[in-house]
Chains A and B, each alone.
Chain A
Amino acid sequence: MSSAAAVDTEADLVCELDSVRGIVDALCSVRWKRFQDALLELSQHGIVIIVEETGCLQAKVYLQRELFIKYDYAATGRPRFGVSLGLFIDCLNTFSVLGRSNVLELRYPGPDMQLMLRSVDSPDACIYAEIRTIIPETISWDYNFEPAGSTPLSFTVKSAALKEAIDDLEWPGSSIQISLQPSPPSVIFRGEGHGDLQIDFNYYVNTDLLIAFSCDRQVSHRYKYKFLRATTSNIPASVLKDNRGSKATIGRGGMLKIQHLVSVAKPSVPHPHIDSAGYQQPSRIAYIEFFVKPEVEEKNGCV
């Protein structure tokens, strides 16, 4: 590409990543509907992908610059643009070939404000793609998450267990109440529909399950099942296999924040010196955050 040098000075961002599979996993975890628009925000710190269900649920994927082999940021301010999430994931999938190490270059903006993708270092083929972007219509609803009080109300639980509990809670067919209580220290999920189901996570019983727990007073909020479900339904298999934990925090007004860690590992031979399957260099982690608004009765809140 003879014009590459000239184009570079115009692009806000040119970055290269070598673990497309991991990025795809991270993006899939915030996919709860077939058609979703994502907002990408570029900064010198990395790329943030924001997905939203208007007024009810928001998810963010943080891809720090350390995840990229190359990260040339030249913009002033923080460019934002929208893409179809499904389209973006499908496109990335075409670049990731299992078993082969492939480097992908992302470039924004293209001549027509599109997002450009290109395979690099591929000896026998060149894959090139452009994705049309959308000017974001509104600034995303600011899910300003504030702590509920001086003591955080949070717990960290095995991601697999959280997913299992939320899957089971489909049965009652109702909204889910999440309660934290300091004594005995426990988290209780409860649904009351055509049948009742209560799932208890007791802190003192098994510290493998509840990895961390912080609560100084009893709190209880209800959340719509389908939004709660969206926070765990597409957790990548790697997260479950690696036995990672997810952190849940209840903020002011009952806003629920759920954080997952997804490993964005380079598909390479296992490190000879590391025997723990769950170990990853810290910089090879993508952070996923979900914000779920509590169910408000008699108000035009979530649909």
Chain B
Amino acid sequence: MEFSLSGTALKTFARSITCLARIGNELVLQSSSSQLCLHTLNSSRSAYQSITFKPDFFDVFSVSGSQVQCSVLLKAICSVLRTPVASIDHLAVQLADSDASKVQWALDCSNGMKKTYWITCNIEPDIQHLSLDRRKLPSSFVVRPRDLNRLLANFQSTLQEITIISTQQSALPLDAADQIGGKAVEFRSYIDPTKAKVKLQLLFSENDSSLHTQLWIDPAEEFVQYTHTRDPVDVTFGVRELKAFLSFCEGCEVDIHLYFDKAGEPILMAPKFGIDDGSFSNFDATLVLATMLVSQLRGGNSSEPPAATTAQQGTKGNTSEHPSDHTRIWSELSGSAVRYGNAAQDQPVPGERNQNTNEHTTIQRIGAMNISMDKNAGGVPVHGKDFHPAETDDTRRPEGSSKYADHSLSVLVKAHKLTLSCYNCSIETNGHAPSQHHPSNWIDAEEDDDDEGDDSELCVQSTPPYS
């Protein structure tokens, strides 16, 4: 395999390497006569990125035989590209064949220096290929990188995971006083409750969970395109990888197309080129991220978790449809209940307070109650108290799976007071028309009074004006 490139293509190539280096540690180069594919899978197998280049992307491109491939450390390639791209005239890469022990990277610098690197290929590389058909992911949106940057700027820069809640855009005229009105998408910070608890114990934590943010977005204003014509779904995934891909798209001056299904299903990101996807460009990129198995909307009621490892998935998981997909809790929390649930406003939930003051109440229970509420017009929870979290304990972990499989309910039981109070608020405030300023959407000091005092540190204190 031999290829060489310069100019803008070299800049794109360098940008690709930077992005890949932010995702995984090992880079696989696979070249055939029709393309060069670079891909990487992160160590926890929750993120996979692949970037492919067509032959005309390069100044020179030739492959001996049908396919040549090798695997190298991304750190080594980053060392090669330490030389500023602006001072490189051209880069040439040579690999004799798939069995070669080293791959040669030669830089001709504009100042006259010639630098030649020989990078050792990994023996017995773990070459995983993932192909996820984006057409199987029913929802998607397209956003400009600078707009997404601006939205993410509202979140703590150290935020590790984010939840995107997606609902159907309403076609009806909206009364802004009554509801959020057209803000069909919500971005919400996700703080791993186990890490939050650890912070209290250790005082020093990289996961500073002191800022929680919820952002309601009108897709018509913020997104270039938005497609979601079904029930509300949410996906929770890593911010680091999202930002890496965002930087990549920003540098390439293309919009980001994000495809998703629901919690537990992987999401896929790709650049959106011109009018026809891909036809105007000689390179393409795909980032597939695993999402958290537990939905933020219904507390893990989704059934058998599909394998969290994206490397094994080519199809959607085997989650079955549940009536819980219509849960009202979500509606109230994000405030677009008017479209979906009328019962929430009519039915007070007796005994709710008692349950919430019970330290062992799990989200699962609340979810179960709402399932019951759907089914029983009377609104009295039938299964609630008897529901055992163990029944949906998702502790089964496929080998090598990501941490997403760890979000079993037993974890949620221990340190979830924060989330509990969310649900607490939403259930109590039946009868109020949900709106962006709905109290249920704010976790404030009044609600804290209902909670156990010793757990109050986990509750987000309200900002001063509200206390």
Seen from chain A, the residues whose Cβ lies within 8 Å of a Cβ on chain B are 158, 161, 164-165, 168, 171, 194-202, 205-206, 208-210
Listed from nearest, the 3 A-B pairs whose CB atoms lie closest are A206-B112, A209-B112, A196-B118
Interface flags for B73-95 (1: CB within 8 Å of A; 0: not) read 00010010011000000000000
Pairwise interchain contact A197-B116, C-beta atoms closer than 8 A: yes
Contact between chains at B113 and A195 (CB < 8 Å):
no
- Please tell me if B262 contacts chain A, counting CB pairs below 8 Å: no
Q: Which residues of A have CB within 8 Å of B82?
A: 168
User: B114 at the A/B interface (Cβ < 8 Å)?
Assistant: yes
CB distance from B95 to the nearest CB of A (A): 14
| Least Cβ–Cβ distance between B427 and chain A, in angstroms | 59
Residues of A within 8 A of B114 (CB): 199-200, 202
- Answer whether residue B358 sits at the interface, using C-beta atoms and an 8 A cutoff: no
CB of B117 closer than 8 Å to a CB of A:
yes
Q: A-contacting residues of B (Cβ < 8 Å)?
A: 76, 79, 82-83, 102, 111-120
Q: Nearest-CB distance from B167 to chain A (Å)? A: 50
| B112 and A202 contacting across the interface, CB-CB below 8 Å | yes
7 more CB-based (< 8 A) A-B contacts, given A161-B112, A164-B83, A198-B116: A158-B111, A168-B82, A168-B115, A171-B117, A199-B113, A202-B112, A208-B112
Q: Which residues of B contact A199 (CB under 8 A)?
A: 113-116
Question: In the complex, what distance in Å separates the CA atom of A171 from the CA atom of B79?
Answer: 7
Quick check: B118 and A201 within 8 Å, CB to CB? no
Interface contact B117-A205, CB-CB below 8 Å: no
Contacts of A164 in B (CB 8 A): 83, 113
Q: A194 and B111: CB pair below 8 A? A: no
With both chains docked as a complex, state the minimum distance between the C-beta of A245 and any C-beta of chain B, in angstroms: 13
Q: Which residues of B contact A194 (CB under 8 A)?
A: 120
* A200 CB contacts on chain B under 8 angstroms: 113-116
Residues of the B chain whose Cβ atoms lie less than 8 Å from the Cβ of A206: 111-112
**In-complex Cβ contact of B113 among A161, A171, A196 (8 A):** A161
Taking a contact as CB atoms under 8 Å apart, the answer to whether B117 and A197 are in contact is yes
Please tell me which one of the listed residues B79, B111, B117 contacts residue A161 in the complex, with CB atoms under 8 A apart: B111
How far does the alpha carbon of A158 sit from the alpha carbon of B113 in the complex, in Å? 11
CA distance A194 to B111 in the complex (A): 27
Closest to A167 in B: B82
Bound-state Cα–Cα, A210 to B79, Å: 24
Complex: A205 Cα to B89 Cα, angstroms: 14
Q: Which residues of B contact A196 (CB under 8 A)?
A: 102, 116-118
A206-B82 Cα distance, complex, nearest whole Å: 22
In the bound complex, residues from chain B placing their C-beta under 8 Å from that of A209 are: 111-113
